[in-house]
A and B are shown apart, each in its own frame.
Chain A
Amino acid sequence: MSVAEAPGRSDHSGRGSAFSGATAGDELTIVEPLIFERSRPERRAVRFPAASEAARRAATAQPELPASVRRAAAPRLPEVSELELLRHYNRLAHLNHAIDLGFYPLGSCTMKYNPKVNEWSARLPGLAESHPLDPEPLSQGSLELMWLLAELLKEVSGFPAVSLQPAAGAHGELTGLLMARAFHRSNGEGEQRTKVLVPDSAHGTNPATATMVGYQAVTIRSNERGGIDLAELREALGPDVAALMITNPSTLGIFEDQIDQVVAAVREAGAIAYMDGANLNAILGRFRPGHAGFDVMHFNLHKTFSTPHGGGGPGAGPVGVSERLAPFLPTPIPTLVAGDPAVVRANAWAGHSTEGARFALDADRPHSIGKVRSCYGNFGMFVRAYTYIRSNGSEGLRTISNDAVLAANYLRVRLRDAYDLPYDRISKHEVVFSGRRQKREHGVTTLDIAKAILDHGIHPPTIYFPLIVEEALMVEPTETESLETLDTFVEVMEGIAALAASDPAAVKRAPTTTPVGRLDEAAAARRPDLRYAFDGDPAAGAAGTDMPASPAAPSEAPTA
């Protein structure tokens, strides 16, 4: 039975008979077979020209590949026609929810609209075909673009220096903490400062990053208002603390209203104040961390500056830093080497030529932490972010934050009766509800609620995060959703809350309209099947042996 015939599974995106070509496994039904299963010998999608006689003749004078390095058996790649290939991936595309299809209020991820002109820019041949090692005289456009983007990020964040190199937010965190450590070492305090303070509301990457830099992560509890407990912070701060990593606005969607005192306390203790800039979308033009005393912040260009999330990357996680951390930035840095920065900026902002200006990569940075990525970072994301910032301009960037905050607060007040709201304060980019009432009174969990949301063509909020909120539902509407969409979401959420009370089993059956129903994640982890098993392979995918159900004990955890 194919999915199209499955009872209760309606066709919510024009699928239906689109899957009539799907094949059934022995005991499993399959929505779309694997590309390997579409393979037939001799089919192909792309052809290459034959080698020229001249090349063949010339090559005879050169060494061949010795037999010792030659591959014994060719890789079993799929053999498909271009149309079959395209249909396969188009069918797979139909199985996805995406911003371009519907509301995606996934908290902490800033799933805003990704403007199409950004894609136009990134595909300009002059940029897309630019090789990172092309001689600098040939790469002035790429270098200028990176320099201009860094100038804009400095202005937005209030930091005097920026590196674009980190490839993602977590990568920016790693870069930031490596710089913090380099700073302490340069002051002779490298040995004594061994701890990084992380609030309990933090994203898991913060403590994981601390470990990667050899620091001990120490958790700071939030107070009853969802903010940092200043007394506990002051207690924890000491000569052994290297940095505080704070997400602001926090993962509760709350601006730390004592941020000035938090930063002052951290600096007074000689530690580095790190701001996780994941939620910058809420505070553009309102708060500039560099001016507020922070030493370092990573930007998520894929959030605030709307580069597409791509199903989980690529992103970009540039870092801005204070003067005292600037010497430690990753190398190299695109630099203006001939021309007056103010004049170059003014010309670029006015759309005038910058032909006199000359840019180069500054790799002569003796105190740098080194490189964190090959080349200079995810340049294609820089092109999109630059396009986005220039499109929006000063006024547009302020509007982004105003409307994002407006939407989050609107949902806060509209839904706080239907769901518990543990921290009922002004929201910034997002608002975190709790499904604890539905769980306690009706046995309907937040997971059930999320699955029920799927049946309405809406992507659920982030669930079970932050960890300090029981049965958390973290809703980030962003600024690009219309009031009608927000109102529809309110109706859907209210309807699910009502259904949880009247017919909890119906909520627990959800989803029923998606291409597949709830998937057995425990079985996936117990018997990992991580790759296609070709006919004749000894065992399916990953070895076919049961894995221990629990992860390696902490004592077996990484020590390196």
Chain B
Amino acid sequence: MTYSPHTEADRARMLEAIGVATVDDLFDDIPPAVRAGGWEVPDPLAEQEVRAELARLAGRNRIPEVSFLGAGVYRHLVPAVVSEVIGRPEFATAYTPYQPEVSQGTLQSIYEFQSLICELTGMEVATASHYDGATATAEAALMACRLTRRHRVAVSAGLSPDYRRVLATYCSGPGVEVVTVPIDLAEDGSGATEPTAAAASLGDDVACLVAAQPNFYGQLEPMAELADAAHAAGALFVAVVEPTSLAMLEAPGAYGADIVAAEGQPLGIPASFGGPYVGLMAARMASVRQMPGRLVGATRDVEGRKGYVLTLQAREQHIRREKAASNICTNQALMALAATTYLAAVGPRGLREVAELSMLQARHTAAAIEAAGLGRRRFTGSYFAEVTMHVPDAARRHAALAERGIVAGHVPGRDEPALRDTLLLAATELTTDADVERLVAALETTR
């Protein structure tokens, strides 16, 4: 199978025009010593054959019948209209809008995306998006270093372990030190960051405090107090949020966040084994010059028509080269379009219903496990739509249920030894009463 349109006559005509005898002559510039020999790439497949191969691989996955797995990636409804819009070839097969006159569709949709993210987060400016929530968080921390000219960042242990790993890698680049602020992991503790502990780790060389709302364990953090602690030390406050929760939870802009980072996957993007997703970043207008990544702005054309362009590009690598705010060169435009379409599709009431149903089913799940005597909430305080349950012998039971196609959430003990014998259970609006019943019944059998 090849997608080349050329006939042998076409090729002959081109060779003749070029003035060479064979196509091999066009590779004469490769030094003979390093020309490739053979390779073991398999033979071409016809469409029906390649479909069979991909169906074989898809069939080797087992999509769970019941799943309470979240831990940063959530299975929400992806409305059909969202798939329809992002499937349009005018969006999917365009590239970066370098020529705005023929890219107004992409540019306007990104402007809408930026507007929606500002509205959701209560911030003044949002970028055109980043690779994912983890890299957006890492870039936010480095941005805070540039803004404050400080070289340490303090990170709550309530931030996802995956995000903390990515943040550590990014910070290792320019040699920024990462300090971890503990959360209260005591039995029946808050499971959240203590403002006093945060204050203690914030010296006058710390650029920012990074905390997640809700945190990785589902617990709600005292964000306003953490922001105050950061500001008291002259540091910025970076809030990492879950976007559907913002229908219910206070907007970061209202509790003093200076930079907001988030994973946009819950907004109409399938789990797809980890990507592609979309990282969200928003900040105060005063710091826009140090923001990494693309920005779209409104302007007008020669005849006074409103239009959109990539703007403030003097921050970016193609202008500034080694002095750029980041090496980032693209955004995740198609995934940003999915999030934009999703937010417009569900609207303010729909997003609130998603958040409320998710919270309700998480509470239903926790209550059912407690009622069956299978476990209890590991932490005090409130939570959003994910809950950490103390369940004896959690890892073994989790594995046993997986064999039956039931995923009993995530096992936090793998990363955090203090949380062995816990399960992190997430619910969404797709979680049904029957799912809760099946989870509880399955856990019963593993006593």
Contacts and interface: CB of A to CB of B under 8 A. Distances in A.
A375 B275 contact: yes
Interface stretch (B126-134, B179-187, B228-236): B126-134
Contacts of B315: 551
A115 interface: yes
11 contacts: A85-B341, A101-B89, A112-B3, A114-B93, A135-B407, A145-B57, A369-B172, A373-B131, A374-B133, A525-B311, A559-B146
Interface string A292-323: 11000000000000101111111100000000
B273 A393 contact: no
A287 B36 contact: yes
Give 6 closest A-B pairs by Cβ, nearest first: A375-B274, A126-B58, A393-B44, A310-B334, A560-B145, A141-B60
A136 B101 CA distance: 48
B45 A78 contact: no
A70 B176 CA distance: 34
A312 B106 contact: yes
B333 A310 contact: yes
B279 to A, nearest CB: 9
A73 B89 CA distance: 37
Contacts of B125: 528, 530-531, 542
Interface string A167-179: 1111101100010
Given A65-B382, A211-B322, A292-B34, A137 B299 contact: no
Contact of A208 (B85, B295, B327): B327
A475 interface: no
A442 to B, nearest CB: 20
A381 B276 CA distance: 7
Contacts of A525: 297, 311-314
Interface in B126-163: 126, 128-129, 131-135, 142, 145-146, 149-151, 160, 162-163
Interface string B45-59: 101011111111111
B329 A516 contact: no
Interface string B63-86: 110010101110101010101110
B288 interface: yes
A96 B91 contact: yes
A257 B103 contact: no
A515 B213 CA distance: 42
Chain A: number of interface residues, binned into ranges: 35 or more
A403 interface: yes
B363 interface: yes
A203 B59 CA distance: 41
B402 A35 contact: no
A518 B300 CA distance: 8
Interface string B330-350: 111111010011011111111
A286 B29 CA distance: 11
B166 interface: yes
Interface in A405-430: 405-407, 409-410, 412-414, 425-427
A74 B346 CA distance: 13
Contact of B323 (A109, A371, A554): A554
Given A61-B370, A379-B275, A205 B63 contact: no
Contact of A311 (B18, B97, B322): B97
A477 to B, nearest CB: 11
A503 B429 CA distance: 63
A138 B63 CA distance: 7
A395 B398 contact: no
Interface of A, secondary structure class, is loop
A308 B95 CA distance: 8
Interface stretch (A45-53, A229-237, A432-440, A492-500): A45-53
B381 to A, nearest CB: 7
A460 B98 CA distance: 9
Nearest to A7: B303
A21 interface: no
Which residue, B17, B55, B105, B402, has most C-beta atoms of chain A within 10 A?
B105
A441 interface: no
B332 A528 contact: no
B104 A95 contact: yes
Contact of A396 (B2, B295, B311, B330): B2
Contact of B115 (A313, A483, A531): A531
A481 B6 CA distance: 8
B367 A62 contact: yes
Given A93-B91, A95-B104, A213-B173, A134 B407 contact: yes
A144 B1 contact: no
Nearest to A129: B63
B271 interface: yes
A65 B436 CA distance: 21
Interface string A326-344: 0000100000000000000
A283 B39 CA distance: 13
Contact of A30 (B54, B55, B129, B306): B306
A406 B50 contact: no
B439 interface: no
A8 B311 CA distance: 27
B274 A377 contact: yes
A122 B360 CA distance: 32
A28 to B, nearest CB: 4
B89 A98 contact: yes
B343 to A, nearest CB: 5
A207 interface: yes
A253 B410 CA distance: 49
A399 interface: yes
B31 to A, nearest CB: 5
Given A114-B93, A203-B318, 12 more contacts: A48-B354, A58-B367, A93-B90, A97-B102, A100-B92, A144-B57, A174-B327, A214-B175, A374-B133, A402-B23, A519-B100, A523-B299
A378 B161 CA distance: 19
